[in-house]
Amino acid sequence: MRRPGGPSGRARAGTKVPYPPAGRSLNMSSMKPRIFVAVVDDEESVCRALLRLLRAAGLDVETFSSSEAFLESMRERLPSRRPDCIVLDLHLPGLTGMDVQRQLKKDGMHLPIVMITGNEEAGVQERVLAEGAFAFLLKPLNARTLLDAIDGAVRGSTVLP
Amino acid sequence: MTGPARTPRDRPLPSAGRIALFVSGYTAAYLYSNSFRLDVPVPFWCPDAVLLCALLLSPRRTWWSYLLLALPTRLILTPRSTFPFGFQLATYANDCLQALLAAAWLRRLKPKGPWLSSVKELATFGSIAVVTVPALSALGGVAILQAYDARFLPTWSGWFLGDSLAILLLTPMIVSFSPSSTVFSRSWRRAIEAGLLVGGLVVSGIVAFRGGGKSFPDGAVLLCVPFPFLLWAATRFGVRGTSAALSLFAVSAVWAVSHSARAVTAEALRANVLSLQLFLLVIASSLLFLTVVLEERRTIEENLRSAQARLARAEATSMVMVAHVGLDGRFWKAPRRLAQLLGYSRPELLEHSCNDLTPPSDLEAELREIGRLLTGEIPSFQIEKRLVKSDGAPVWFYLSRSVIRDSDGRPVHFLDYLAEIDERKRAEAAVARSEKQLRLFAEHSPAAVAMLDGELRFVMASRRFRNDFQRDGSPIVGRRYDEALAGFPRRWPDALRRCLEGVLEACDDDTFTRPDGTIETLRWEIMPCAPSEGPPSGAFVFAELTTERKRGERALEELRQELAHVTRVSTLGELSGALAHELNQPLAAILANAQAAQTYLSRGPSGVQEVASILEDIVSDDLRASDVIRSLRKLLRNEQVEFRDVDFNGLVREVLELAQGDLITRNVTVLRNLASELPPIRGDRVQLQQVLLNLIVNACEAMAASENSDRRLRVVTSLDGDGGVHVAIQDSGPGVPEDIRNRIFDPFLTTKNLGLGLGLTICRSLVMAHGGRLWLADNETGGASFHVVLPRTEGRT
């Protein structure tokens, strides 16, 4: 598994995000205000599992089973109601994770993205990160790694003006 | 003078014409014979001769009618006053008995005439009809005349001589007459000659007997005057002419004697008649003898001439040629055909020696036989030999040679019978050549071929047959198959027996065990060796050991399976990323669920309900992961090929699921268009999955360079026209480049950086092993499509 924040893992706008130390509590409810995470994965069971995991960690979670449904939803929302972080599956039928990434950028929605994938392909990680994703994680996802990545993504985005 | 002799003899009863002929002839004879003085013996008793002729020339069953007719004729013609009735009856009976006895005797010795065609027949006729029977009859006559105090010897001799003279003179003339004989019609010259003869006889008779009558027997010189004419008749006119001439001569002589002026007393007349009778008997028998000898000789000469003519004709037309060859080998006499065959004229050939024309290689054997022939060791010899033609080419002859010897037994020349047999020899040589070629062909044929005779003994066996089947150290030709062979299938004895009844037997897959226990597999055919007609004269055996081939086929099949497995693994290797995705999805869900559950559980009982649903999801995801692994294992294992009924649409769905990860990874949109009702097909599930997977992966790779939105894979199943199943895998890629289109199924052809280049080759061989076809076509909308047709269950072999 590649760790975000490694030599090539970069947060948005070049801000370094320190990797959270192991053993830290999953309970992120202390974070104010409550962080809102959108999960986009065509696999229903994955969506459901991540929903449970992130909620258990005290996050607000909304799941989408296709990229089109997600983008549609984003366009209709006010910027204040948009998620703080997107957990996006790379291999989506139709528009892929990277397509969504580009579309959001195109639509002016600079949302932090944690890209997840079940299939490691050479060069993909670099491309994803270059496109501006905060982290690139391989399934199956360790809860702490995911939460740390979300945490980092959200922090990074708040640090920025 | 004609008689009843002209009556046809083949009628069952005498016809009126024959009766009239007989009665008139008999009447004439009777009247003439009774015209003499009664006090002297009748010199010339003709009725008996006429009756004898009638009997000789008639069927036996009609004899009674002639015998009966004679009686009234005699009674009517004889005045009752002249002879008593008893006397007449007695003489009639005596005469009838005489004619009957003579006719029966002669007919017994020779049922049909002529009775005078040879000296032997003349002698028989004379001794029976002229001597013995009249002599016996004369004894009867003496007995009848005893009543008149006649003296024995004069009476007997008068009676005997009168009868025998008439029979000797008249019978030959009458019996040798027949409707077909033509004295006068032969030619006018002949008729003139006959006329001159008759005239000469009449004139000479007048000369002889006018004076002779007065001076007889002193005027014997004058009696010689008719002789030249009689000799003329004897030499020129045969028995009939001689007989007629003699009769004329005799009548004249009898007339002269009976009217002789000197014979006034009965005694003198009797003496004269006796002399005349003796004279005529001697003359007639001598002349007839001479005639018969001449006739016999003429007949022999004619027969010889015609036989020679026939022989000459036969020799000229026969296939067999006759040649006379001197002891030195020189031709003495050779037929024209032989000369023609040898390219010589006949005179040229006669200058040659038979030995010179014989090739030296043939001469030695012939000379040996000639030696044996000349020493008398063998009566003849027969050989087939060549004679060299004038142009140097040899001609084959069949020669049968015997030796002609003189009266002392010394060899004079050879008698050769020659027949040209060049054609036959050429045909024989051709047959021998053809048989030799056939044997050579069979001997060196790579097939195991043998021929057996009617006793099932080997006539011929090819080298291959001997190598494959012959028992070690045992000859094969001439031996029975069960003695000569190291082993043969159990069905052969029955098949060979039936083959001799004309039945062809064959088996494509049979076995037999060698003495060392090796089991051989073979295919064989036993067919009758049929002559043009009749039952089979033997059997042909064609056999091929298939042990090695079968072993090779098995090894090849194993290799093929191994290769299929390798390519399958290779294909799956290409899918490994996608497969990781397939597995990682459920694993990701499981892990997330499990960690969520941990959190819920740490919060106490409130989270238990959520944990229950989490566990449910975990089980489901785990099962899904194990499904992926199971189907992977199936494809990765190298199991025995197993043909079963397969639901083809189900198979397509399974493969698409397996490839789903890849398809998603590659961003390929799949369009399924599966026929609603497909018949089951018979095949190996793994192999068919391999084919589909391979085609799908290829299609995905073909679209790698396309825009994401343009990557469309279409899988269409349908019912084939022949009732089989048709599946098309269509992609939206650029299509197969023209330069590799024809080689697309060739091994080691690849457009990828990875892979063996065996995928499509193996696919095609797998489809063909299922009795199906795999081919490439272009889509109407661009891209390539691969088509597979698999036959229905019952259509597959």
Q: Which residue of A has its CA nearest to B710?
A: A94
pLDDT of residue B325: 92
Give me the residue from B581, B610, B667 closest to A118, CB to CB.
Answer: B581
Percent of chain B exceeding pLDDT 70 equals: 91
| Per-residue CA distances from B667 to A37, A42, B71, B670, B759 (Å) | 26, 13, 151, 9, 23
Question: Residue B710: exposed, middle, or buried by beta-carbon count in 10 A (0-12, 13-18, 19+)?
Answer: middle
pLDDT of residue A5: 38
**Which residues from A are below 8 Å from B620, CB to CB?**
45
Q: Mean pLDDT of all residues in chain B? A: 83
Cα separation, B476 vs B484, in Å, equals 5
| Per-residue CA distances from B208 to B202, B203, B227 (Å) | 10, 8, 10
Q: Phi/psi at B657 (nearest 5 deg)?
A: -65, -45
Which of B657, B737, B664, B744 is CA-nearest to residue B692?
Answer: B657
Cβ contacts of B334 within 8 Å, gap of 6 or more: B321, B323, B324, B346, B349, B350
pLDDT of residue B72: 86
pLDDT of residue B754: 53
**Given a cut of 50, is residue A9 above it in pLDDT?**
no
pLDDT of residue B530: 75
3-class DSSP state of B752: coil
| pLDDT tens-digit series, residues B667-694 | 888 899 998 888 888 888 888 888 898 8
Q: Mean pLDDT of all residues in chain A? A: 78
Q: Give, in degrees to the nearest 5, the angle at Cα A46 between A42 and A52.
A: 130
Residue B708's Cβ-side half-sphere holds a number of Cα atoms within 13 Å equal to 13
Q: What is residue B131's DSSP assignment?
A: I
Cα separation, B471 vs B464, in Å, equals 13
Which has more confidence, B742 or B481? B481
Written as six digits, the tokens of B351 are 């200058």
Q: Tell me the pTM.
A: 0.44
Cα separation, B704 vs B718, in Å, equals 28
A49 and B585: CB-CB below 8 Å?
A: no
Beta bridge partners of B725: B719, B790
**Given a cut of 90, is residue A87 above it in pLDDT?**
yes
pLDDT of residue B664: 79
**Which residues from A are below 8 Å from B593, CB to CB?**
48-49, 52-53
pLDDT of residue B599: 86
| pLDDT tens-digit series, residues A137-159 | 988 888 889 999 999 988 876 44
Beta bridge partners of B728: B716, B787
pLDDT band at A7 (very low <50, low <70, confident <90, very high): very low
Least reliable range by pLDDT among B462-471, B493-502, B564-573, B729-738: B564-573
3-class DSSP state of B145: helix
pLDDT band at A32 (very low <50, low <70, confident <90, very high): low
Hey, of A1, A25, A46, which one would you mutate to test binding to chain B, going by the most B CBs within 10 A of its CB? A46
The number of C-beta contacts closer than 8 angstroms across A and B is 98
pLDDT band at B219 (very low <50, low <70, confident <90, very high): low
Q: Phi/psi at B288 (nearest 5 deg)?
A: -65, -40
A46 and B588: CB-CB below 8 Å?
A: yes
**Given a cut of 60, is residue B102 above it in pLDDT?**
yes
Other beta carbons within 10 angstroms of residue B576's beta carbon come to 13
| pLDDT tens-digit series, residues B26-75 | 999 888 888 876 667 778 888 988 999 888 888 888 888 888 888 888 88
Which has more confidence, B8 or A33? A33
| pLDDT tens-digit series, residues B416-456 | 999 989 889 899 999 999 988 888 888 888 888 898 988 88
pLDDT of residue A71: 92
Q: Which residue of A has its CA nearest to B621?
A: A45
Written as six digits, the tokens of B60 are 């036996």
Other beta carbons within 10 angstroms of residue B34's beta carbon come to 18
